[in-house]
Structure 1
Amino acid sequence: MNTKYIDLIDQTYHFPTEEFELQNKHLQFHGIDLMKLVEEYGTPLKFSYLPKISDNIQRAKGWFDSAFAKADYKATYNYCYCTKSSHFKHVLDTALKNDIHIETSSAFDINIVQSLKKEGKINDETFVICNGFKRDLYIQNIASLIDSGQKNCIPVIDNYEELSLLTEATDSNFNVGIRIASEEEPKFEFYTSRLGIGYKNILTFFKNQIEPNNQVNLKMLHFFINTGIRDNAYYWNELHKCLKVYIQLKKICPTLDSLNIGGGFPIKNSLAFEFDYAYMVEEIVSQIKQVCDEAGVDVPHLFTEFGSFTVGESGGAIYKILYQKQQNDREKWSMINSSFITTLPDSWAISKRFIMLPLNRWNDEYERVLLGGLTCDSDDYYNSEQNINAIYLPKYHKDKPLYVGFFNTGAYQETIGGYGGLQHCLIPAPKHVLIDRDDDGAITTRVFKEQQSSEQMLEILGYQ
């Protein structure tokens, strides 16, 4: 019988993959021996593999370059990184090496932009697309950025009051975008996004507030839907509705020359993941060109705001199985030495699933288990893979340590989990290691943050 864990993987997936392989019976991730990482740094452990950030940016640029050439699309493509996915300096520094631009979401993002400008990581020509609901400090910071000479700072208008707030905050001339309030899928909990201005009201808004204002030019139309870029009727229908508005505006507004299609590229959440990125890009570019050609207007410059796609597949978390509890005749609970709620909050909050694989013992027999976290919270568990309604791992043995890795966790988990702050049940944030490659391709590692200490938490709580 094929009862080993490696047999299960071979029967279920195409393995090895471009990211994962076995060497010396241990799991390798992009050529990194994860057991050696554990031996050097211990667990629980968070890591960021920085080269994957550049890799994904260059892949996306290549897809758009090819699609533009195939469609004879006479405009430019601008890759923006959505900073809210991960604000860390090592992420921004790596991403900006690839000649990209930035999308911001709130006031403190602008302080990050100013810091990057001082370091020469971005310049006055870099596009800074300012999204989100804007009040007070965010408005002031955007105005300050515009006044400092950031020629391509484009605040995207989210509601009817923002334009007047911006013009009151600066005397400089500036460009703006308008965000379309997209209509959501029928199964969604609401009909229309809370972000942006409704399709039917955009033309009126332009005529009443932007066209008469000599201080402002409309540069961009912004389109994004919560479910992301998917090859389904809903996505294509919303894109065509957006293009209809773009064409109406373009015919009366010569300064409008850019379409921002937001983010929404999916990332791998299973070894069985399949998504034809190149096809989707080709189809988007082709349909935009076709609609614009039929209407007799120039095609727009295209912007994207990929966040999870940029950074998600660079991150991972490693845990040790501490103990196993047989709670009844069917359920075995394998307890990790950390917490899912605090280190992978999306697994708890929105039932998100990540790629999960053991680092060692692939030649041992496997069993079905549930994974439990350390908090005294009944919701601190992980119970299934994305494409399998179960978790299978090598059988627990007290004298044979087992380590498990969760992969492609690099987007949102640290900020949502309250990085550096209080954690549920005061479970400390794990050590965080940065992995890179030098000019010769050799792997380098360094500790970004040590595991959170009791003193740090007690200071936050007011005990010190």
Structure 2
Amino acid sequence: MNTKYIDLINQTFDFPQPEFKLEGKELMFHDIDLMELVEAYGAPLKFTYLPQISNNIQRAKGWFDSALKNNAYKGNYNYCYCTKSSHFKHVLHEALKNDIHIETSSAFDIDIVENLKKEGKITDDTYVISNGFKRAQYVTNIARLINNGHNNCIPIIDNYEEIDLLSQEIKGNYNIGIRIASEEEPKFEFYTSRLGIGYKNIVPFYKNQIKDNKKVTLKMLHFFINTGIRDNAYYWNELSKCLKVYTNLKKICPSLDSLNIGGGFPIKNSLAFEFDYEYMVDEIINQIKLACEEEEVDVPNIFTEFGSFTVGESGGAIYEVLYQKQQNDREKWNMINSSFITTLPDTWAINKRFVMLPVNRWHDTYERVLLGGLTCDSDDYYNSEQHMNAVYLPKYNKDKPLYIGFFNVGAYQETIGGFGGLQHCLIPSPKHILIDRDADGNITTKLFSEQQKSEDLLKILGYAN
């Protein structure tokens, strides 16, 4: 009878997979021995596997290069990383090894850009696509960057006032883009994105504020939808409307030469995950080319802004199961030695699911459980995996410690969770490890941050100097 955890996985999924395999009874992630990591650093811990950032960038660039060739597309492609997914220096340094560009969303992002320039990680040739609703400090910082010679900084206009605000502080001529306020998916609580300018208003906006403005040159139309790039009627319909705006605008604005299709590539959230990236890229390029040919305008250069796709699959978190509570006849709670709310806030905030697997004891029998965090909040739990709407793990045994891993958690969790700050119920942020490979391909590890101490939190709260 197949009652071991490894049997469950083999019956349910294709396993092993490129990043996951077993060595003995223990899980390997990109050939990293996770139990060795636990033995060296303890748990809970978070880690970032830096090479996966470059791997995903190169995958996407390859798909777009192939699509441009397959469709005899005359424009070029530019990969941008949207920094809001993870602002950490180690993330940016790894990403920028791959000849990419940057998308910013707030004033302090520009300070990061300037720091990267000082370190030689980016140059004036690097595109800095400045999105977001721009108030005084953001406008000032963008102007400073452009005034200091970074002509490839392109502010994306989000509202009708921004051109005047930017023009007051930018000394010479500058390039801009316009963000389309896309219509949201029908199930949303509102119809149109709060970001950008409505489809019907863009051409009039160009005529009224840009066409005769000698200081400003329109170079880019920016398109992004909240649900990301998906092979469904909603996405293709919104893309079609965007292309209609682009071709209409291009006919009266010769300087317009770039289309930013934003980001939103999904990342793996289950061992059953399937997404045909190559098909989607090819079809997007094909649709853009067909729309432009039909309207007899030149095809645009393509920009993308991949955030989660860039950094998400590099991140992981490992917890120890501390204790099991049998609360009734059906529900067993495995209590982890940390908190889901504080370390993986998207599991609580938007019910997001990640790849969850035990790190050890794969050849033990399994059971159905719920996973609970340490805070006294009733929402601090994780109880739904992709297979059979339940979490199955090796059976709890107080004499045999069980470690569980959450994978592909590298995007947004630190910034949303407030890295280095206060956490709910004063649960400390876990230790964070950076994992890399040296020139010979050997795995190296480095401590990025220690687990928070009582003194760290007391200082924030005003109890200590």
| Category of TM-score, reference length = shorter chain | over 0.9
How far 1:171 moved relative to its partner? 1.7
1-structure distance, mates of 2:44, 2:370: 18
2-structure distance, mates of 1:179, 1:420: 33
Match of 1:298 in 2: 298
How far 1:274 moved relative to its partner? 0.1
Q: Which stretches in structure 1 are left out of the alignment for 5+ residues?
A: none
How far 1:387 moved relative to its partner? 4.3
2-structure distance, mates of 1:383, 1:142: 44
Match of 1:351 in 2: 351
Cα offsets for 1:349-376 (capped at 9, x unmatched)? 0000000000110111100000000000
Q: Does 1:244 align with 2:219?
A: no
1-structure distance, mates of 2:317, 2:263: 25
2-structure distance, mates of 1:338, 1:362: 22
How far 1:172 moved relative to its partner? 1.7
Match of 2:100 in 1: 100
How far 1:184 moved relative to its partner? 0.9
Amino acid paired to 1:351 = N
Matches within 5 A, 1:370-385: 370-385=370-385
How far 1:386 moved relative to its partner? 3.0
Q: Does 1:224 align with 2:244?
A: no
Q: Which stretches in structure 2 are left out of the alignment for 5+ residues?
A: none
Match of 1:72 in 2: 72
Q: Does 1:84 align with 2:84?
A: yes
Amino acid paired to 1:260 = N
Match of 1:402 in 2: 402
Check the 8 A contact 1:132/1:158 in 2, yes or no. yes
Match of 2:209 in 1: 209
1-structure distance, mates of 2:130, 2:386: 34
Match of 1:25 in 2: 25
Cα offsets for 1:47-84 (capped at 9, x unmatched)? 00000000000000000000000000011100000000
Q: Does 1:42 align with 2:73?
A: no
Q: Please, which moves more after superposition, 197-206 or 167-176?
A: 167-176
The TM-score normalised by the length of structure 2 is 0.99
2-structure distance, mates of 1:411, 1:446: 20
2-structure distance, mates of 1:410, 1:293: 40
Matches within 5 A, 1:223-372: 223-372=223-372
How far 1:88 moved relative to its partner? 0.2
Check the 8 A contact 1:354/1:386 in 2, yes or no. no
Check the 8 A contact 2:12/2:387 in 1, yes or no. no
Match of 1:393 in 2: 393
After superposition, the CA RMSD in angstroms is: 0.5
How far 1:188 moved relative to its partner? 1.0
Cα offsets for 1:334-358 (capped at 9, x unmatched)? 0000000000000000000000000
Check the 8 A contact 1:143/1:170 in 2, yes or no. yes
Q: 1:292 to 1:449 in 2, by over 3 A?
A: same
1-structure distance, mates of 2:187, 2:332: 35
Check the 8 A contact 2:341/2:347 in 1, yes or no. yes
Amino acid paired to 2:19 = E
How far 1:124 moved relative to its partner? 0.5
2-structure distance, mates of 1:446, 1:270: 28
Match of 1:422 in 2: 422
Check the 8 A contact 2:222/2:261 in 1, yes or no. yes
Cα offsets for 1:178-220 (capped at 9, x unmatched)? 0000001111111000000000000010011111110100000
2-structure distance, mates of 1:420, 1:150: 32
2-structure distance, mates of 1:253, 1:227: 30
Q: State the SS of the aligned residue for 2:333.
A: strand
2-structure distance, mates of 1:116, 1:388: 46
Aligned length: 464
Cα offsets for 1:82-133 (capped at 9, x unmatched)? 0000000000000000000000000000000000000010000100000000
2-structure distance, mates of 1:186, 1:323: 43
The TM-score normalised by the length of structure 1 is 1.00
1-structure distance, mates of 2:388, 2:120: 47
Q: Does 1:112 align with 2:112?
A: yes
